[in-house]
Each structure stands twice: as structure tokens, then as C-alpha cells.
Structure 1
Amino acid sequence: AQTAAKSAKKGAEAAKKAGEFIARHKKVFLIIGGIGLVLVLLLGLLQSCSSMFGGGVSNIVASSYLSEDADLLAAEAAYCAKEDELRRYLDTYEQTHDYDEYHYDLDEIEHDPYVLLSILSALHEGQFTIDQVQGDLQMLFDRQYILTETVEVERRYYIETDTWTDEEGNTHTESYRVYYDYYICTVRLENFDLSHLPVYMMDQETLSMYAVYMSTLGNRPDLFPSSGYVPKYVTNPPAKYEIPAEYLSDERFATLITEAEKYLGFPYVWGGSSPQTSFDCSGFVSYVLTSSGLCNTGRLGAQGLYNISTPVSEPQPGDLVFFVGTYDTPGVSHVGFYVGDGMLLHCGDPIQYTSLNTNYWQSHLYAYGRPPYN
């Protein structure tokens, strides 16, 4: 009886503490409790990213958007309004300007709401109001969209002809040049990609927070279900892949894969190069090679990894696969690990296994290479 009483007392104390915790974080639990599907999806996200930020209820809070929904939605709406204004400016450019000729080189005007909210949440230590982030929204917009308008003036002419008759009745014709200025306007819009900005404007701690928010979508996949990140991370996450046992009999390859698979499901973070900040493609490959003790590359880009590798025509598991043209950059643009049977392990978005036998990857495939393993 005494044992039962003690257990009951402990249970009551635990319930009290849980109640106090829920009260402190009422909004988060209302969100999770009110949407059963979100909780199920959330648990899957936490499992895939547990090595990044641990597990447990406290880390659910730490990886959640803590701002009020009204502020989250207002921030997204305000950024969209800036984009709409830019779009209207460009759509009516020839009606509001007076040039003779126009040339346009325009990137798409677009961003993902989860990238925006994860940046703002990281910059404000998890919670913000719309009034607090007005300056941040303008700063991000100015860094994402780079608009240049260049006007060239050409000196041109046309031929004017005068005809007259003299006193003797003879007709004369005289031609001469009439010069004028011809204005050619070139309008360029570069979308730097909002997801590329964090690494240039955040310290390691803030970048780590951003990576955590992106890995869970702030635990709010319901906010923007049309975002491309929701199927990538939640509704249709990357399929699991079992590497054939005979490949893993190679001790070096087994060591490589053991290290690389720790980060399956981590989000793609431009410039990221560690588990704390997550990774980009070359950051992932460089970190795994170095941390596994197999090849101390340090931090190299995709082109740098290609430069230190020996080209191979018949790739083996553990070789690197290089691609070009996956985004607008000269030289090698993407890299991953070849794991045999036409499969690639790489930092896509998120880190995942992918078949190389698709039109996309085949069209960008550049070369295979073997890094200088120890």
C-alpha cells in the first residue's frame, strides 16, 4: 500500500510538472494537440533529425516556431507584397519608361515561406512580432532581389531628302543625315535565392537554429501545405535504401556509409558544413570524408573535391559522383557518394539516397572520381 501511495504521489508530481510545462508552452501544444496529423508527422521529423537536436518535448518546443500565427502569416504576407510590387513594376516597365528599345533578363520572383520564417525565427531567437521584423523583411528582400537597369545611348541617324526646283526649272535632290540619340534599356533581375542568404549573415549559433527550424518546418507543416518542402520532409519523405551486404564487406566503404547515414534527413543549408549547421552538397561530402578518418579533405567545394579526385570510368561504392549545371555556376555544381547499383547518397534537400538513372541526373552527370583515401 505504501509503495502504491508513493507511486501515486510521484505520478501526481509528474502530472503537475507536465501541466506546468504545457501551460508555459500552451500555444505549441494547442497546435500539436489540435491537429493529430501534424503530431504524427512531427514525430517522424524528429526521429529523422534527432541527431541534430536531440529528442523530447523540450526539443519539440526548441524546434518550433513560437511566434503567434498572426505574426507568422503577416510576415509572409508582407514579403509577398514586396514581391508583388516588384512584379508590377517590371510588368508595366514599358508603360512607365520612355526608351527606344528594351531587353530583359529576369529571374523568377519567388521564395519559400518556410525559409523566410526560419530565417526570421533564428534571427529573433525563436519568437518575433510583425513590427519587430519590418526592417528584416526589407533587408532580406534587398539581398535576395538585385535589380539593375542599364541604359546605353547610341548615336544614330536617318536620311532626310530635300527636293527643290531652281529658277531655270531644274529639279535638285539633296540627301543628308539627321542624327539622334537612340536609348537601349537592359533590365536584369537576379534572384539570389532566399535560402542562400543565411550563411552570409548568420554566426554559427544562429545558422544552427535556422537549420533546426528548416529540418522540422517549425513543426508547422499545416501553415503552408503548398510549400515544396512539405512533400520533401513530411508527406513524401525520401525512401529508405538498403545497401547490398556484399558492398558493406569492404571495411572502408562500410566506415564511410556508417558516418554518412548519421545525417540522413538533414536539410540542405547553403554553405553548411557540419551537423550543427547542416550541410550543402560539398559540405556533406567533405565532412563525411574527414570525420570518418578516411580522407582529410578539409572544407572543399564541389570543384575542389573533383580536383583532388582521380577520374574513374567504372565507379565503385565509395567513389564520388560529380555533376554540372544543377544551378548557375561555372564548373562542377554538385557532388555525392556513389554507393553502387546506380544509387547516389547526397545532400539533396534533404540528405537522401537517389537513383542516378533518371533523366535529370543523367543530363547533369559529369564524371566519377576516387578521392585520395588514406
Structure 2
Amino acid sequence: MKQLKPRDKITQKMTRDGAVEINETQQTAERISSREADSDFSQPDTATAERVMEHLDAAHTRKASKKAVKKAQEAAVLRTSTSRLQFTDEERETPKLQPYIKKSEKAADKLDAAKAALPKQKKLVKERTFEETTGKAKTRLRFEEQEKPIPGGKAHSNPLSHPAQEAGIFVHNKIHSVEKDNSGVEGAHKSEELAERGARYGTRKLKQGYRSHKLKPYREAAKAEQAAFKANVNFQYHKALQENPQLTSNPFSRFMQKQKIKRQYAKTVKKSGSATAKAAAGASQTAAKKAAAFAGRHPAGVIIAIAALLLFIMVSVGLSSCGAMFSGSMNSVLGTSYTSEDSDLVATEQSYAAMENELQQEIDNIESTHSGYDEYRYDLDTIGHNPHELASYLTALLQSYTPQSAQAELKRLFGLQYTLTLTEEIEIRTTTDEEGNEEEYEYRILNVKLTNKPIASLAEELLNPQQFEMFKVYLQTQGNKPLIFGGGSPDGSPSEDLSGVEFVNGTRPGNPELMELAKQQVGNVGGYPYWSWYGFNSRVEWCACFVSWCYNQAGKSEPRFAGCEWQGVPWFQSRGQWGARGYENIAPGDAIFFDWDLDGVADHVGLVLGRDGSRVYTVEGNSGDACKIKSYDLNYQCIKGYGLMNW
């Protein structure tokens, strides 16, 4: 029968000389610590020394040696700063390199200090060794100091926070449902909510400040590492220039050389530590020497290559810039243009102008529709609007629209813009008859007041903030269609000289005094006196305002129009005072209308100064945003016709 032997009782004990393994069954002790034992100078202990040597020999197996070498190399890399260069005595004695060496060492010192200031943590790691005699593996645990990783990730949340929030919302909703009945409860509830928001804001800011404080060492380390990298690259660059003087003659070569050293050094630092970085710097210098030697042997080829590279870069940058500029310009134009069709824009404007004409007719007929008054007193604002303000408002509000879809909004806007008020007033007056008797009688007065609130001021009240911003953009760019409603000439040429021109007088009488006044306006830029006189608060296409202003200065209250196609042309045509293109019996002071894009809609208006045998001479406002004297062939196809004035 096989006799069983009990397992030996083995314990480990920490002594002054290190860890010791004790076999209590056999009453033996063996030192197992890898730490070198302290020397005993009192008396030699040969037996202990022999045991230590045997233990060391047993531990250094081939596999364990390879692992130890690998771990030693890793530890050396960790202990050595990857951004600190090692300089030779020859480099330190070179006067031109000394400032850059000093900067590099100073930057490396700052980096070491920043890394030393990083938070550390002790981490338990396992170490596995093999005994050659027994072939068994042993695993030991030890603490190793490591840098703490950058704090991040999702913060731990309190599991009770969500139910607490739900309860808070429930309570607030209950208070909301009854607070309307008691102003005191409502005020207290508002104060409580304000305090809660303030507390949440303060807590959030405290957490942000605490996190920023914790991340400060990592930010300082990253900043120091970047500065050290820059200082090292700067040293390598100047060292290359010191060893290759021919590179200093060409700025382009210096720039390319510095970029090459920078890329090579960054690649090396990323791949390995400072030892290999030094070798890579030497490789960079060797490559620089080869490049310099090649440039010395083939200067013409290098110049041609550099010129070709520069040409290629310029062409590429030019094409990309043009493409980006074209794309940006197209997006800008499309984003600021009216989105409706041109025909819908003009038709909607005509509908609004027709409503204004009806209002004007209503005022003109006040004395007939409200007869029986002794006196009519008028306090009237100007009837008129900026067509681009209306189009910008409707585009910002409705995006794309037609006269039918915008009809309801037109009526609402018209009712807000114009307010006509009729107020009856009765005065008791006395009269004396032939016999000297005084009699009282009622003197009836009708006060007619019309107020006009500009569309721009209404837009700020009717549109939300985003729509109002779009309204201002459309109004500023005029929807990229400045002439769609008429009222202007894109002609940027200067005013013409009338020297040597002999006018041909027709049979119709003109108004030379009016034209002298009009010629005195030549040179005005912007048209402020004319559109502000008409009643506009900001600049509009002011050619029609200029013509109306001139007629008013000549004593004519009509025609008075701010739009060419929907106001000026109908006024003359409805009174039989219209002459088509080619009409020869024109006179000074007649209005001349132009259709620049030949779509049948008048775009511009001016005053006829006179004609000779083949040309008509005009004075125009808003011709390139200025008052100018111009001339055209009598059969010029863009002349829509003439408004004939009766003086």
C-alpha cells in the first residue's frame, strides 16, 4: 500500500534582507527577494553569498533574460525625456549654435518639470519569472507608479436624480395649475423657479471650474512638449545650415529644408524615443548634404524644377480659389434673391399700386361723396411705397408668392399702412345782416386726415426676428433685381456735353424754365432731395421722384408718381397724352420712358431737353445713381414712349 506524504507547510516572511520563504516542515529558509542584499562588512557570510549567486543564476534563463532586457529598455525610454537632445562638445563650442542649444535645453527642462507635475497613481502589476532548476513559473505582484490618464468620460450620475426630477416637475405642474388664482402663490413660485435655475447654473459652473483645474497640468505638459519640439527642430535646422552654407543663398531652399527636418523629426519622435530621434536628425542632415551636393552639380535643373513647382502651386491655388469664389458667389446671390417669378413680382406690385390709386380717387372725391360742408381741411401724407420694401416683406413672410396667394396679406398690410380719418367739426359763427342784426349759424367743417406708415416700420412689427433679418437682406440687395420695378439706369458713363448741339423746335410749346432747373441738378448723387421730398424714409430708385419733383417746382401738382410702369405711364395714357417711340413733335419738359430689357415694362424715366435732327437729349435722375445729361437716337429701341405735357 502506497504511503501518502503530507505537503510541506511553506510561509513567506519579510526580513531586513528581503522576502524569505520558510519551510516549517523541514525547518529550512530560503531568500526569494530579487533585491540585492545589503553588504555585511562585519564578517563574511560565504554560505549566504553562494545561495544568492545560485538564485541569480537560476533566474537568468534565456526567456527571462530576453523579457528583462525588453522591460529594461522600456523603462529606460520612459525615464528619458523624448524631447531632450544630446549635444556633442563640438556642437556646444559652436558660437552660432549655442543660442539654439540653450533654448532646446531650457524647453526640455520645462517639459520635464511639466511631466513631473502630472498626477501620478500606483498601479498593481504582475511579474512572472521561471526557475531553471525546477522549470516552474512564479508570479509576483508589485506596485508601479504611473501617470494618471486625462480625466474624461461620462460623469457618474446619482440613480435618485431622475425620480427627483420627475417629482419636481410634478410639483411645479400642480402649482402652475392653481397659481393663476393667487398672485402671491404665483410670485413665490416664480421666485422659487428663479432660485432653482440660479442654483443649477452655479453648480454647473463649479463643476466646469473643477474640471478645468484638474486638466491644467495636462494642458501645461502639452504646451511644454510643443515648445520643446519647436526648439529641437530649430536647432536641427540651424545645424543643417551651419554644415551646408550653400543653402542660405536660396530662401525657397531654406523653407523646404526646414519643413523637411520638421517632418522627419516629428516622425522619429512619434516612432521612438530620444535616442532614435538623434539618429534621425543625423539622417536628415545627411539627406540635406546630398540635396545640397545635387543642387551644386545641377543648379539649372534645380531652378527649373522650383519654377515648375511654383507654377503648379499657383495654378492649383488659383483654380481652387476661383471655384470657391464662384460657389460662394452663387450661394450668396441665390440666398439674397427674390424667389418669386418676375411676372408675379410685377403683378403683385401693380395690385398694391391699384389699391393706392383707389385710395387717391376716394380722397379726390371726398367733396362730392361727403357734400354739404362749408369747408374741407386736408392733412394728408403722401400715398406711395417702396416697391422693394413690399417685395422684400412678402418674400420674407411667404417665400414664393403669386398675386392670388398674397392677396389677403396685401389687404392686411394696406389697412395697416394707410389710415384715412374723416372728422366732422361744427363751429358756431355769427353773421350781420344789412340791418345790423347778428345771427348765429353752424359752420360745418370736414377734417380729412391720411397717415402713411412705411412698410419697413411695419415689417419690424409683423415679422419674427428671423424673417425680419431676411427682410433687411432682401431690401439691401433689392433681391438682386434692382430694375424689375423700373426706376433707374445702369449707365455709369459721365454726363454729356451740349456744346455745338442745335435743337429743333416743334409745334408744341415746352417749358424751357423747367429744363434750366433740371440742368442745375446735374451732378447730384444719391437723389436724397427728390425721394425724401416724395415722402420716402430711405433711398429708392428715384428717377420718377426726380421727374415729379421737377414738375412740382414748375407749379404742377400732377403728374406725381414714384413708379414708371404702374403709375407714370398710365397717368399719361389715360389722359391721351402719350407718344410712341419715333414721335417727332416732342417738346422740352416732356417725360421720356425707357424699357431696357424690352419686356414691355417701363424701367426708367427722364425729362426731354430737346432734339436735333437725329437724337433726343434728356436730363435723367438715377442714371448710375446720379443726375446726368444723356442723348439717344430717335429710333433707339429701348425708348418705350413719351409722356406729353400740356403747359
| Pair in the same fold by TM > 0.5 | no
Greater fraction of residues in strand: 1
Report the structure number with the largest CA radius of gyration: 2
Q: TM-score, normalised by structure 2?
A: 0.24
Higher relative contact order (CA 8 A, sep 6+): 1
